[in-house]
Amino acid sequence: MSSSILVTGGAGYIGSHIVLQLLLGGYKAVVVDNLDNSSEIALKRIKDLAGENGPNLTFNKIDLRDKPALEKLFASEKFDAVIHFAGLKAVGESVEKPLMYYNNNLIGTITLLEVMAAHGCKKLAFSSSATVYGWPKVVPCTEESPVSAMNPYGRTKLFIEEICRDLHLSDSSWKIILLRYFNPVGSHPSGSLGEDPRGIPNNLMPFVQQVAVGRRPALTVFGTDYGTKDGTGVRDFIHVVDLADGYIAALNKLSDPSVGCEVYNLGTGKGTSVLEMVAAFEKASGKKIPLVKASRRPGDAEILYGSTEKAERELNWKAKYGIEEMCRDQWNWASKNPYGYDSTN
Ligand code: NAD
Ligand code: WQD
């Protein structure tokens, strides 16, 4: 019988790509999502892309904080592991509405862990974030680098990491992998799945994509005076399909009896500047991206990229794609879905 994996936040940008990879890999995927920042159309498209494995996807519109609903789900089905994406992720919004972020991300996670424990499901892969490295003094960041949060969103990630460590200390039968990933971009090569943020995009590439399709006039570049090769911020962009493969590798690792509570970076190990990324997108799309130079965005790090050695060594995983493929696939998605999942049904 195939393994059944519960994916919280599975209708979202990253979750949808992992759900597809799970189905293609022969897993059963059960998605829990409240659809606050996603569309059910993504799930329909995943089913289509998964072909004969499509029927192995089921969806439950549940808010993670709804404990009775979660209890009912766990009572109806046995899960081999949980991949946990569900959460709010907009840094600026978390500064304005900290309680909303602590409520959603912390209470959602604690409720999930309680229900998992009650049903003897003790394997978890959690979406942490490279945001926990703050403004690093030394790059590449390794899993041992100092951590610090610059905003409430980042603090929810740090707190959840600590909760997971405490949980494992209290009961060593838990197996938990904390994945700190860097800047996911790109889309499934079909162009059927991709990032579809609500409102004004906070992140670089969704904004660039909206400029390219004519929804916004220009990209504002936050900071051109950093001590980097061209003065703009440097990040570790990673193709979302590589990230999905990293999750499958983490899932396999959860079956290793030696695993306790482990943290892994998922990145490419390479730093790319904002202007380099814009140039790569212009090349892939054939569209000119007008730029407006602006001051630094508060809380932004200058250079952030990660060491990939631990994931390569212990998960046997390495990112395959570079920025050309990321931009090619992102443009494929954007040009086919200029208004995201609202473009078509
Ligand atoms: P996303 O917003 O597209 O996906 C998150 C999903 O969780 C959405 O579908 C949303 O509707 C759902 N959700 C939120 N709160 C919920 C709740 N209480 N109950 C049920 N469902 C809920 O975001 P994403 O980019 O796919 O990110 C997924 C995870 O990865 C998040 O935890 C995020 O913090 C983390 N992460 C994202 C990035 C990034 O840059 N995208 C980087 C590092 C880590
Ligand atoms: C990248 C670079 C900006 C938008 C964020 C979260 C982090 C993680 C990944 C979840 C920076 C510049 C951006 C724009 C710009 N998410 N930029 N104009 O800040 O590295 O990380 O997403 O965990 O927690 O903080 O990503 O894409 O917002 O910015 O110039 O309109 O692009 O200043 O240098 P960031 P980003």
Give the integer Cα–Cα distance in Å for 222 and 299. 11
The question of whether 153 is a catalytic residue gets the answer yes
81: nearest Cα among 138, 40, 121: 121
pLDDT in tens, 132-155: 999 999 999 999 999 999 999 999
Whether 18 maps to a domain, the answer reads yes
Q: Indicate whether 280 belongs to any domain.
A: no
Within a domain: 102: yes
* Ligand closest to CA 299: 2
pLDDT at 345: 47
Alpha carbon nearest to ligand 1 atom 10, residue: 37
Confidence of residue 24 (pLDDT cuts 50, 70, 90): very high
Q: Burial of 312 by CB count in 10 Å (0-12 exposed, 13-18 middle, 19+ buried)?
A: middle
- The answer to whether residue 302 scores a pLDDT higher than 50 is yes
Which tokens in the block code for residue 56? 């192995």
208-212 mean pLDDT: 97
For residue 343, name the pLDDT band (cuts at 50, 70, 90): confident
Average pLDDT of the chain? Answer: 97
Q: Which ligand is nearest to the CA of 132?
A: 2
Distance 228 CA to ligand 1 centre (A): 30
Query: Would you say residue 216 lies in a domain?
Result: no
The set of protein residues with a Cβ atom below 6 angstroms from ligand 1 is 9, 11-15, 33-38, 63-65, 85-89, 104, 108, 127, 129, 181, 183-184
* Distance between CA atoms of residues 140 and 271, nearest Å: 9
Q: In whole angstroms, what is the distance from residue 310 CA to residue 317 CA?
A: 9
Identify the residues whose C-beta falls under 6 Å from ligand 2.
Answer: 89, 91, 129, 131, 183, 202-204, 207, 219-223, 233, 235, 274, 297, 300
Find the 203 Cα to ligand 2 centroid distance in Å.
5
Q: Do the domain assignments include residue 99?
A: yes
Predicted confidence at residue 344, as pLDDT, reads 58
Please give the torsion angle defined by the CA atoms of residues 190, 195, 198 and 201, in that order, rounded to the nearest 10 degrees: -130
Is residue 275 in a domain?
A: no
Instruction: Using the mean position of ligand 2's atoms as its centre, give its distance from the Cα of residue 181 in Å.
Output: 13
pLDDT grade, residue 167 (50/70/90)? very high
Distance of CA 131 from the midpoint of ligand 2 (Å)? 10
Res 13 pLDDT > 50 = yes
Q: Among 49, 52, 261, 281, which residue's Cα sits nearest to residue 166?
A: 261
pTM over 0.95: yes
Strands, E assignment, the chain: 4-8, 28-33, 57-61, 81-84, 123-127, 175-181, 183-185, 219-222, 234-235, 237-239, 261-266, 272-273, 291-294, 303-304
Q: Inform me whether the pLDDT recorded for 118 exceeds 60.
A: yes
Q: Using an 8 Å Cβ cutoff, are 13 and 37 in contact?
A: no
pLDDT at residue 315, as a whole number: 98
Q: Which domain holds residue 30?
A: 4-185+239-267+305-319
Number of domains in the chain: 1
- For residue 50, is it within any domain? yes
Extract the tokens encoding 318.
Answer: 């390495």
Q: Dihedral through CA 248, CA 250, CA 251, CA 257, nearest 10?
A: 150
| Whole-number percent of the chain with pLDDT over 70 | 99
Kindly report the CATH number assigned to the domain that includes residue 54.
3.40.50.720
Out of 153, 226, 321, 341, pick the active-site residue: 153
Judge whether 277 lies within some domain: no
Cβ atoms of residues 204 and 192 within 8 Å: no
> Which ligand approaches the C-alpha of residue 196 most closely?
1
pLDDT digits (tens, 9 = 90+) for 262-274: 999 999 999 999 9
Tokens of 22: 């799970």
